[in-house]
Amino acid sequence: MTSPRLPREDLTAAMAARRELGPEYDDAFIETVVDRIEEALDARAAAAPRPRSRPSPAPRHGERDHSLAMAVLSLIAAIPLSAIGVVNAGLPGLLFVITGIVLVNVTYTFRPRR
């Protein structure tokens, strides 16, 4: 699909008319050209396909998404904490450690954004 363009011949003719009319018609000339450009842009916007879903917002300036770092650190922390939990309390200790790590990750994921 090609997007509508403002014909070059029209702009060339408008420039020639502006030269013939002189500087006293500059305001009218500018308004006419701007109107034509706006019409062409409106036609392009109407012809452009609309996205179906809204993309996720990009992090604001100075913010970073630390989700991957949080996941890696959780896995690294899970190894020694699981061992400590199993040695000291058996299966309930392991479940306690895993539940704690899951809660930390869920809290981090669903925290309110500023």
In this predicted model, what pLDDT tens digit does every residue of 77-98 receive, in sequence order?
999 999 999 999 999 999 999 9
Helical (H) or strand (E) element with 96: helix 91-109
Distance of CA 15 to the CA centre of its chain: 40
In this predicted model, what pLDDT tens digit does every residue of 14-57 receive, in sequence order?
778 777 877 777 777 778 777 877 887 788 878 877 766 666 66
pTM above 0.75, yes or no: no
DSSP state of 54: P
